[in-house]
Homo-oligomer: A and B are copies of this chain.
Amino acid sequence: MGQRLSGKRIVVTDAGDFMGPAVTDLFTEEGAEVIADRRDLRPLAAASELIAEAGHIDVLVANLSIPNPRALAHETTDAQWAEVFDRLVHPLHRLCRAVLPQMIERRGGKIIVVGSAAALRGTPRRSCYGAARGAQHAYVRSLGVEVAPHNVQVNATGQNFVENPTYFPPEVVGSPELQTRLLDVPAGRLSTGREAAAFLLFLASDESDFLCGQIFPYAGGWTA
């Protein structure tokens, strides 16, 4: 690989979960100084504390996740609902709010939201999770347009069927149920975490300077 992120300071949230490990590894190889944070972002002050501690940030990778959030809508309790939004949606706003002023002032910076294709294609037992992921996408859509004139780029992915410790851990990867689910995925396989991180690398690098407010499905053809 090259050094496509050379000299960049990059914060990755929830660094032990979801795309955190694969992003941290690849981005580091590509020359970035990665601040791999693992704090709980539910407390109201956590996001601003993280950003303050990190100092200069060129790229924020808003990698937020919650394990196994499947339930029928009419059985989803208020507590379950709130927990999903407390982990996926509200911290996203607080992270962006904290980091944007420095990016706007320097006229440069990028925010990448690692999102989910669950927001793009409906699936049973995913109404709560999908709603939270849909909030992320629509947030990016408007925020990306809002800050593009400041030369700050905000974009998101909508991934599914990517190996990662949160949603496709080894025990799922080897299961017969997954083979059945993959019949519905044109690519016919899971993406490795590294492959998916390579797309996030594109979004983190200067190569994506022209793009803003965009949602990129990354799901092996499962969603258009």
Contact = CB atoms under 8 A, between A and B. Distances in A.
Task: Specify how many copies of this chain sit in the oligomer.
Answer: 4
A211 B117 CA distance: 13
Contact of A199 (B90, B123, B143, B202): B202
Label chain A's interface by main secondary structure: helix
Given A133-B138, A134-B141, A221-B144, A93 B128 contact: yes
Interface centre among A81, A82, A198, A210 (most CB of B within 10 A): A210
B198 A207 contact: yes
Given A142-B118, A148-B221, A187 B210 contact: yes
Contact of A131 (B100, B123, B138): B138
Interface centre among A101, A139, A142 (most CB of B within 10 A): A142
Interface of A: 1-2, 4, 44, 72-76, 78, 81-82, 85, 89-90, 93-94, 96-97, 100-101, 104, 118-139, 141-149, 184, 186-189, 191, 195-196, 198-199, 202, 207-218, 220-221, 223-224
